[in-house]
Structure 1
Amino acid sequence: MICSYCQTENDSLREECEFCGAPLRKRRPQLKDFIHLDQCELLFNELILFHTYDLLILVRLVREERTNCYNLMRTVQKGSESVEIDSDTLAFAESEYRRYTARLRVLEGILIDRMGYKPKRIDDKLLKSLKLKVERWKGNGEQ
């Protein structure tokens, strides 16, 4: 078995690389073909297998949805003064906002572990730059 970190050949029965000590059976993050908002609901153990680029896209999607939930919640709260809105609708808007906030914290925590920080803004420029670096690295034949 070849170590995915140092590329050293190892006995297939080993659990760790004899050269660098890295786990031989650990799955490393791979770029996904498509990222969608529902993936934020995955468990932590599944999210840490996402590539950093994919995590950034997912954080961007969750931030947008969280903003939409916040705006809806504020609209419902303000509207309740002039129009009768049932408490279930308000409770739903608040729970969605809290749910996306919690999901965002998990994703940002993973990014902090990987990058040492969470990007304040995830724009097209940041994503394009990272995508270019990933493609260059893969173009060099390293994996």
Structure 2
Amino acid sequence: MLAKYSINKTSARINQAIIPKIQEANKIQQPRLRNCISVVNVVKQSESQVKDNQFITIQTKQEKWNELISDDSEFDTQATNMTQIFSSFNLINEQLVLQNMIKQNINGLNHKNQRLDDMLVLVSSQQVSLENIQCTQMRYIGTLTGILD
């Protein structure tokens, strides 16, 4: 009877010592996961805003150029050619800027996804560790119970 009391007391001590630490670690990891997910969402939103802003900038520059050249009728042909050249260079430049920004955002997202995967692996390993501890406790209790019987 004394041995069973000792086993139960030992099991309770193990539970009091280990389980709160694992629960605390899980509480720390969950907000980090939420923060990473919210950062990914913010990056996606900012990427779409950048595209919208770039398009508005292109339109504004084109409108200003059109205003400048519409005043003089004798330069219509040259102005049309210049407008086409300007538009081509402007679009190419804006596309390059957008491509670079998208590449940077993709690299950032890949890095954040890797960090999320690492955190998920850590949480999974903590759960496996808890299960292993519980199995060890059960074996220990079973062994002691078998010895007492």
**TM-score w.r.t. structure 1 length?**
0.36
More helix by share: 2
Q: Radius of gyration: which is bigger?
A: 2
